[in-house]
Amino acid sequence: MGPRRYGSGAELTAWVYGNGAGMQSYGDESRPLAALSLPSRIVIGVAACAVAVIVAIHLAMMFLHVAPQNTLSKQQGSLISDYVYPEYEQNWKLFAPNPLQQNVAVQVRAQVRAEDGSSRTTDWTDLTARDGRAILHNPLPSHTEQNQLRRGWELFVNSHNAQGRPIGTRGELAERYIRRIVMFRMQGEWTAAGGRVERIQVRSRTAAVSPPPWSTEKISDKPVYRVQPWWQITSADLPEGANSQ
Partner 1 sequence: MTSPTPQQPRSTSQPTHTTEPTDVSQQAHAPHAPQAPAAPPALYEETRIERAIGRLFGRATGRALAPYQTAVIRIGFSATWLLFLLREWPHRLTLYGPDSPWSLDMARRLLDANHAFSMLLWSDGRGWFECVYLMAVASSAALLLGWRTRTMSVLFMLGVISLQNRSVFIGDGGDNVIHLMSMYLVLTRCGQVWSLDARRAKRARAAAEAEAAAAGEEAGGEALDGAQTAAHMPGAGRGRDLTGIVLWAVLGLALAVAQLTGSYALLWFDNGPFPHIGWSLVLWGLWAAHALWWAVQRYAPGEPRTVLDTLTKLAHNGALLVIMVEVCLVYSTAGWYKIQGSRWQDGTAVYYPMHLDYFSPWPALSQLLGSNGLMVMLITYGTVIVQVAFPFTLFNRRLKNVLLVIMICEHLSIAFLLGLPFFSLAMIAADAVFLPTNFLTWVSARVSGLRERLFPRAVPAGPDGGPGGGEPPARTDHGGGGHTLVG
Stretch 155-184 residues interacting with partner 1 (CB under 8 A)? 155, 169-170, 173, 176-177, 180-181, 183-184
Q: With respect to partner 1, which residue has the nearer C-beta, 181 or 202?
A: 181
Contact 80, 73 (CB under 8 A): yes
Q: Which of 233, 225, 134, 245 is nearest to 181 (CA)?
A: 233
Q: Which residues contact 101 (CB under 8 A, 6 or more apart)?
A: 208, 209
From CA 128, how far away is CA 145, in angstroms rounded? 9
Contact 111, 124 (CB under 8 A): no
Q: Which span (14-22, 70-78, 111-119, 190-198) binds partner 1, by CB under 8 A?
A: 14-22
Give min distance, CB of 106 to partner 1, in A: 11
From CA 127, how far away is CA 116, in angstroms rounded? 29
Q: Does 86 bind partner 1 (CB under 8 A)?
A: yes
Q: With respect to partner 1, which residue has the nearer C-beta, 120 or 151?
A: 151
- In the list 77, 141, 188, 194, the residue contacting partner 1 (rule: CB under 8 A) is 141
Q: With respect to partner 1, which residue has the nearer C-beta, 158 or 232?
A: 158
Q: With respect to partner 1, which residue has the nearer C-beta, 67 or 227?
A: 67
